[in-house]
Chains A and B, each alone.
Chain A
Amino acid sequence: QSVLTQPPSASGTPGQRVTISCSGSSSNIGTNTVNWYQQVPGTAPKLLIYTNSQRPSGVPDRFSVSKSGTSASLAISGLQSEDEADYYCAAWDDSLNGWVFGGGTKLTVL
């Protein structure tokens, strides 16, 4: 059972906007920033976006994030087939004194 809660799956058609939620608590999302990772099956996770929609070099601005209270969301606009992957949220937990992850959301591009 993951500390952060994500929906197990999400889907959309090319060009659509999709959002993936991540719910936590006051000791993690409520206090600290949230990072999002993208994982294509069979490969290592890749840092996708962090803090206030900060993106590593090469990540398109179609990806954005928001946060409210103890929840966060990842939004993908202009969905493309290459966006099909698993997405994980992560945050530092002050009570556990460690990183906690969501269970992951499998995004399918129909």
Chain B
Amino acid sequence: QVQLQESGPGLVKPSQTLSLTCTVSGGSISSGGFYWSWIRQPAGKGLEWIGRIYTSVTTNYNPSLKSRVTISTDTSKNQFSLRLSSVTAADTAVYYCAREIRYGASRMDVWGQGTTVTVSS
């Protein structure tokens, strides 16, 4: 059974770059048929899709974040990563990684437990 686990600093200073990694176990990130996504949720608020990656080169990003976001993969470690630059307090949130099924009815069927990132000096 595929499992996802987020990791990274819980505290980031304003204007710096937030970097998170999602480690995939129980399946290969290189296998076809899946997108690998990032979603975030500010405290007490709803879900916001950040972006996704497929085959290490194909990416889609939320237009509102596109200028600051980079998602990449490390197939040797079976991981994918998120970098969000020039962060502000508005980027404080729980960040989730998720697997999205590409074929048929697209859906995010496996989620990590989430990691809290606070932007503060």
Residues on A lying within 8 angstroms of B by beta carbon are 2, 33, 35, 37, 43-47, 50-51, 54, 56, 88, 90, 92, 96-104
- Contact at B108–A47, with CB atoms within 8 Å? yes
B58 located at the interface, meaning its Cβ lies under 8 Å from any Cβ of chain A in the complex: no
- Contact at B49–A98, with CB atoms within 8 Å? yes
State the main secondary structure of chain A at its contact with B. Answer: strand
Interchain CA distance A96-B106 in the complex, whole Å: 16
Interchain CA distance A51-B103 in the complex, whole Å: 13
Q: List the A side residues contacting B25 at CB < 8 Å.
A: none
* Pick from B105, B111, B113, B114: contact of A54, CB under 8 Å: B105
* Pick from B45, B47, B105, B106: contact of A45, CB under 8 Å: B47
Shortest distance from the beta carbon of B49 to any chain A beta carbon, whole Å: 4
- Contact at A50–B46, with CB atoms within 8 Å? no
Size class of the B contact interface (CB-based, 8 Å): 20 to 34
Q: List the B side residues contacting A96 at CB < 8 Å.
A: 62-63
Residues on B lying within 8 angstroms of A by beta carbon are 37, 39, 45-49, 51, 60-63, 96, 104-109, 111-114
Contact of A56 with B106 at beta-carbon distance under 8 Å, contacts A45-B47, A101-B48 already known: no
Q: List the A side residues contacting B60 at CB < 8 Å.
A: 97-98
Interchain CA distance A99-B39 in the complex, whole Å: 10
- Contact at A98–B51, with CB atoms within 8 Å? yes
A-B contact pairs, 28 of them (CB 8 A): A33-B105, A33-B106, A35-B107, A35-B108, A37-B47, A37-B108, A45-B39, A47-B108, A47-B111, A50-B107, A51-B105, A56-B109, A88-B46, A92-B106, A96-B62, A97-B60, A97-B63, A98-B62, A99-B49, A99-B108, A100-B49, A101-B46, A101-B47, A101-B48, A102-B46, A103-B45, A104-B46, A104-B47
